[in-house]
Structure 1
């Protein structure tokens, strides 16, 4: 089987979906030497994936494009390139695929927020992605979803057959683990100007992540006399200015620290330096940062929505979305109870160990094989 993988959606600073693209390709390279792969990637994506030399993998390196230009290219020039490559199947890793394809097709859906929470997206995305996702759902031979929660949402929202879509839960990189390297941790703390004791959030700074809930709960924590800083890791998304205004209005400017984007190499150490990880999101297709935090031995508090109960299980503490009082109470409980904290750490490490990229790759490969056998 000659498998094409469309990795052209990989951004220069990958987070959830970008990390999925990188890790899936690496894991497929590790488990499958029987098939040939053709990876379509932009120049920056090729550098980020950085596979060892592998004769089963052929790279087609393309010029870097912005997201809008890439989508136009996908529908116009990409089909010709696919035909020329001779692939039997194309796996499109980020919602969309060319309308016309000369081969079998698998498409991955990361979440259904464009349908369930359209207000959390820019106008351009609200207009484009619902149409594109519906087209992909119709035209693809098979679909994958990054969690069972997203799979069920897709079945309900798009009206697709349950047999057509497979949940291929994400994994956690082995680099995310408890680390006791004092020198390395000190270096990272200095690099990002991290405080001694802090509560951590990792993800985009945008409305979907529901950070106002965390800021309000953190304000209660500070007013109650707790001495923890709040560190927000991630690049600014759209409407981040509203969050900055909230922080200033609550006089928390000196207590909340923004690091900006942190590389995957540095991120495990940042997790390890934190006392507590809080993820107050409104909706997640998977919620990879919560899994990474657990793998690093950090207690996790998150919301009881979408995929989070599926991922965290009983290893973390779940609170109702937008319930500031419940989040504040959970933070006080975890930070004030060493036995509970230790129990959550141990359960989190055990829970995270169940999620591997090798398993993601095996499930994905099974989808490829089923498509080719039935096609």
Structure 2
């Protein structure tokens, strides 16, 4: 069986993380993307079909390598997001991670963007032979928006990278100087971006309301936090001195920062899965997150939940979670280990095989 995959997003976070983990495990026969992006994975697939084009929009449809891919004769094409090739006629499985753009259209910059995503999601759900999604929550959303038959959708949970493990205090010592982190403070960590649905502003409000906030520091990790110019609410809320902008970090530093933190906080209004929740738990770090969308599925009975629209409740839950007993870390690690990339990849192979064998 020859499975092809569109791997153009491999260098990104989120979907890119999935592609990086799936490629060596699913062992796709054919990979679409840029040779330079896939150099480290060349032993994991048989052939590369060059495809260098940005995602979303008409250009990727016109530049999709239809003829070159047809010559490779894949049994199934895996599209790891909603942007399916409109003119492809072979069998196809599509992973839809979330429907954020449709559930929170008010956060989109232009109405035309909403029209685009409405069309492409609807086309993807109609055209795909099988739809894969990360959570039962997103599966319900797809059924609600597009009336897709339930049997056409398979939930394939994501996994946790092997780099996310519990570390010793000695392994973390360098972080204090590297990121200017003060000692003897309670450390909160947020990993992500500044997209509106991530709801960082409410987390900032919650920090400002905490009675013991002077004893806390909020570490912000992600591309959006390379500089302080975009943190326009910190001075207004009086938490500038409580916030540390770590910016983009490598995977080793990320795992170590999770370990160093006393609590990981995810205030999102909506998540298709919420991978950082598992990453933090795999490091033995307690988690406080929203009680919405897929997050209760991922966090199970091991996370502390709050209403993401209520800063006062969020502050109270965070304060309570900071007192979480250290011995609970083993339970968090065991829970995170239930989600792994081997299971995820094997499920993709099984679904691709079923589709390939269908008449």
Is the pair's TM-score, using the shorter chain for normalization, greater than 0.5?
yes
Offset of residue 53 of structure 1: 2.4
Q: State the 4+ residue runs in structure 1 displaced beyond 6 angstroms.
A: none
**TM-score, normalised relative to structure 1:** 0.88
Secondary structure, counterpart of 1:199 in structure 2: strand
Q: Is the 8 A contact 2:35 2:48 kept in 1?
A: no
What are the equivalent positions in structure 2 for 1:1-375 lying under 5 Å apart? 1-10=1-10, 12=11, 14-29=12-27, 37-47=29-39, 50-51=40-41, 53-54=43-44, 57-63=46-52, 65-68=53-56, 72-123=59-110, 125-180=113-168, 182=170, 184-196=171-183, 197=185, 198-221=187-210, 223-224=211-212, 226-236=214-224, 244-335=231-322, 337=323, 340-342=324-326, 344-375=328-359
Q: Is the 8 A contact 2:188 2:216 kept in 1?
A: yes
> Structure 1's 325 and 370: CA in aligned 2 closer, same or farther, altered over 3 A?
same
Q: Is the 8 A contact 1:171 1:357 kept in 2?
A: yes
Secondary structure, counterpart of 1:314 in structure 2: helix
Q: Is the 8 A contact 2:2 2:75 kept in 1?
A: yes
Tell me the distance in 1 between the aligned counterparts of 2:156 and 2:80. 12
Q: Is the 8 A contact 1:114 1:121 kept in 2?
A: yes
Tell me the distance in 2 between the aligned counterparts of 1:225 and 1:288. 27
Aligned length: 354
Q: Is the 8 A contact 1:147 1:307 kept in 2?
A: yes
Structure 1: unaligned runs, 5 residues or longer: 30-35
> Structure 1's 116 and 344: CA in aligned 2 closer, same or farther, altered over 3 A?
farther
**TM-score, normalised relative to structure 2:** 0.92
**CA RMSD after TM alignment:** 2.2
CA deviation map 1:227-252 (0-9, x unaligned)? 11111111229xx97x7222111122
Tell me the distance in 1 between the aligned counterparts of 2:254 and 2:160. 13
